[in-house]
Amino acid sequence: MRFFKNGELPPQGHMWFIYGDGGTGKTTLFRDVPGKKKLLISFDLSTDVLRGAKGIDVGIIEQGDMPSIQNKIEQWLNRAVSTYDTIGLDNMSALQNMVLENIDGASKDGRQNYQKLQIWFRTMGTVLRQSNVNVYATAHQIDKGPEFMSGRYEADMNIKTFNAFTSMFDVVGRLYLKDSKRVIELDPEQGNHAKNRLDDRKLINASELFQANQAN
């Protein structure tokens, strides 16, 4: 444990987690994340929207990486946090499935498998939080159906794994289209996965996601 005297607490990078349907622009938003030197690690190969973007390096997971994906990601992140000021992870639904497949192959106990999954994602979230870099992560969305008036939408992740990972994040939001505009819901009282620890905004245009951080 480290202690900081009054006035000596160092600044932290901010962390955003955005989920939504495919094609809503989650990856594109990485262009706007604050940072001068940025790295996006792609787990679903949806990188075309970043072609030509200035100041963004891209790492793409390959088939040969998957049997040792946990070690690969740990190695990449350990190097990245000392090189980049902003890291993107796109997307966590795909990464979770890769990790779970490896864990399933190592254990026959389903409960232990998910416990290991949660621990690994919690550890990754903690490392990122302590790195003081900006972090932007995405996930696909699950629509549970119109019978759910509240809490209809959630990130496509195991719920305990999602909670373990996003507990470190400042912002969790759902990106969707409304009247042909991209908006992000940040209000947990709507019943969906959402929170905003940076300011009091509840529903914003997607283009405004990082403005509060830039103003602080």
Which domains, and CATH codes, for the chain? 15-170 (3.40.50)
- What pairing do the DSSP bridges indicate for beta strands 38-42 and 15-20? unpaired
Q: Is the pLDDT of residue 91 over 50?
A: yes
Phi and psi angles of residue 184, each rounded to the nearest 5 degrees, phi first = -125, 125
Instruction: Look up residue 75 and give its amino acid.
Output: Q
pLDDT confidence band for 112 (50 / 70 / 90): confident
Q: Is the pLDDT of residue 216 over 60?
A: no
Confidence (pLDDT) at 105: 61
Percent of the chain with pLDDT over 90: 78
Angle at CA of residue 114, ends 109 and 116, nearest 5°: 95
pLDDT digits (tens, 9 = 90+) for 151-206: 789 999 999 999 999 999 999 999 999 999 999 999 998 888 999 999 999 999 99
From residue 35, give the alpha-carbon distance in Å to each of 1, 79, 84, 180.
29, 17, 8, 29
Q: Is the pLDDT of residue 212 over 70?
A: no
Who's near 35: CB < 8 A, 6+ residues apart? 55, 84, 85, 86, 133, 134
Task: Kindly state the DSSP code that residue 216 receives in the 8-state scheme.
Answer: -
Q: Is the pLDDT of residue 106 over 80?
A: no
Q: Is the pLDDT of residue 213 over 90?
A: no
Asked whether 137 and 16 are in contact (CB, 8 A), the reply is: yes
Helix (H) or strand (E) holding 128: helix 110-131
Give, to the nearest 10 degrees, the angle between helix 69-80 and helix 110-131.
10
d(CA 168, CA 81): 16
Confidence (pLDDT) at 109: 67
